[in-house]
Structure 1
């Protein structure tokens, strides 16, 4: 049985003023990493100061390993591809993250919640 998790990560960088190419590349990387780890990325929204993920993870693998891999790999690749990230920040991600299981909530409702976070941020 697979478990669905909502994950809230906080990057060290604020993506507020449209570092669009970094945001696009980060989304690509997160999708690729989830695929490599055989974890289904159900929903992804990048906010100015955090990232929402809805991921289905095999409990035997552990959601913490998925997060550690996403943070480590994406940081290495982004800092290599975007040199400005290495001069401004000692690290790309903070050490903290929030994980919450979806429980009995229908996935459509959870996806709608995550999508609405991006919309409410634009207002």
Structure 2
């Protein structure tokens, strides 16, 4: 399998492992909402011509991205986090009141280049949810402060969304 892509005068294979989280590390990626946020991220990647290879999101998002060298990683992450935040608030209007300044994502992110260890990083992303469950970082119930009842953020599916399953 050839992972090399080409532009008019260059060949490239640029893959990045990117991690970012919602503001205050709130746990919002459960059930149908996790699927729909994944669809938003996948759609934005397609808009920019970025290949999304792997993803997972217990309380934060791990992405394995393939970005062309003509686009900077920081520029793409600014677009992805900014536009996805707007689309999330458009879809779930009451979420914008839980976050100060109506910013859904934390200010920073982690990025690392994927060298020859792509399989190791792919396995790490797939196993991330299992590790979080073992260290009891997942909450089972969330009470909506606006309605006073349990919301749709209850854990219904504890499987990790990987390999184009969002």
SS of the residue corresponding to residue 95 of structure 1 reads: coil
Distance in 2 between the 1:15 and 1:22 partners? 11
C-alpha RMSD of matched pairs (Å): 1.5
Distance 1:53 1:101, change over 3 A: same
Considering only CA atoms, is the larger Rg found in Structure 1 or Structure 2? 2
After TM superposition, the score normalised by the length of structure 1 is 0.89
After TM superposition, the score normalised by the length of structure 2 is 0.67
Instruction: Give the aligned length.
Output: 120
Are 1:94 and 2:112 counterparts? no
SS of the residue corresponding to residue 109 of structure 2 reads: strand
Are 1:33 and 2:44 counterparts? yes
State the Cα distance separating 1:25 from its structure 2 match.
1.4
Are 1:117 and 2:128 counterparts? yes
Deviations 1:85-107 (A, max 9, x none): 111112101111011001221x2
Are 1:68 and 2:84 counterparts? no
State the Cα distance separating 1:19 from its structure 2 match.
4.3
Distance in 1 between the 2:51 and 2:132 partners? 25
Alignment correspondent of 2:64: 54
Higher relative contact order (CA 8 A, sep 6+): 1
Distance in 2 between the 1:113 and 1:8 partners? 12
Match 1:5 to one of 13, 16, 20: 16
Deviations 1:73-121 (A, max 9, x none): 110011111122111112101111011001221x222111111111211
Moved over 2 A (4+): 18-22
CA contact (8 A) 2:30 2:58 kept: no
Alignment correspondent of 1:108: 119
CA contact (8 A) 1:45 1:53 kept: yes
